[in-house]
Amino acid sequence: MDEKTECAKCTKVVCGSKESAQGPSNCPTKTKQDIIQQALTEYDKPEVREFARQASIQEFECYMNLPEGMTPRNPRVEEIAQFAKKMGYKKLGIASCIGLRNEAKILTQILENRGFDVVSICCKVGGIPKEQIGITENQKIKGPGSFESMCNPITQAEILNNEGVEFNILVGLCVGHDSLFFKYAQAPVTVLVAKDRVFGHNPVMGLYQAGAYYRKLMRKEPLDSQQANKNE
C-alpha cells in the first residue's frame, strides 16, 4: 500500500514547477503515476478536452501582467459569465437557496444582461414537508409543531435537467444539499456562493480565523462525538 497522500501537509510543493518529480516520498506525482496516466486519457475526449482548455484559458485571463506585477482581475461572478460564453452555452441554470433569493435575482439579471437564457430554481421547490425524509419535530429549525419544507436539491437538479440547461450555477445550497445537487445534475456545475451562515457566505474566513477568534475550530474531539445525534 502506498503512503497516504497528504498534499495539504506538503512542505515542498514542487508540483507546480519543472521539478515536479522532486516531491516528498508520499508525493502522488511519484506514488500514483498509474492513476495520473489513466486520468489523462479522459482529457482525450474532445468535449472534456475543450472544457478543460477553456477553463485554463479562463484562469489565464484572470490575471493582468502590469508593470508593477501580476494582478488578479474578474470577480467570480464575472468569471462564470465569461467561462459560459467561452463554452458557447446559451441556457444556464441557477440552483439557489431560498435564503439567497435576492442574490439569485441579481445573478439572473447579470447573466440575462449578457444574453443568456436563465432558468432558476429555489431549494424549497415542491413545498414537501421535512417529515418526508424522517425529520422529527425536535429537528425543525422553527421548533416542534411548525411546518417546514425540506430542501429539495434532487428536484432542483431534475428540473434543470428537464429544462435542458447547459451549465449550472449554485447559489448558497447547504452542505450536503449541494452534494446531492452535484450527484443528480446532468450539466456541469460551478459554485458561485458556498453557504456560510456565520461568515457571510465566505467560508474561508473560518480558516483565516482558526488561529484567532475561532480557535475553537482547532479543538480535538473524537469522530463519534460528532455522530452522537445521527440516529436520534
Can you give the binding site for ligand SF4, defined by CB under 6 A? 7, 10, 12-15, 23-24, 27-29
Nearer to ligand SF4, 2 or 137 (CB): 2
DSSP secondary structure, 73-113, as one string: ---HHHHHHHHHHHTT--EEEEEE-GGGHHHHHHHHHHHHH
Nearer to ligand SF4, 10 or 194 (CB): 10
Grid coordinates of 108: 439572473
CB of 104 closer than 8 Å to CB of 96: yes
Nearer to ligand SF4, 12 or 45 (CB): 12
Report in angstroms how near the CB of residue 1 gets to ligand SF4 at its nearest: 17
Report in angstroms how near the CB of residue 36 gets to ligand SF4 at its nearest: 10
Give Cα 133 to chain centroid, integer Å: 24
Report in angstroms how near the CB of residue 34 gets to ligand SF4 at its nearest: 15
**Beta pairing class for 63-66 and 69-72:** antiparallel
Nearer to ligand SF4, 22 or 136 (CB): 22
Nearer to ligand SF4, 15 or 128 (CB): 15
Distances (CA, A) of 48 to 39, 54, 174: 11, 10, 28
Cα-Cα end-to-end distance for the chain: 38
Report in angstroms how near the CB of residue 41 gets to ligand SF4 at its nearest: 20
Report in angstroms how near the CB of residue 207 gets to ligand SF4 at its nearest: 17
Q: At a CB cut-off of 8 Å and minimum separation 6, what does 110 contact?
A: 77, 81
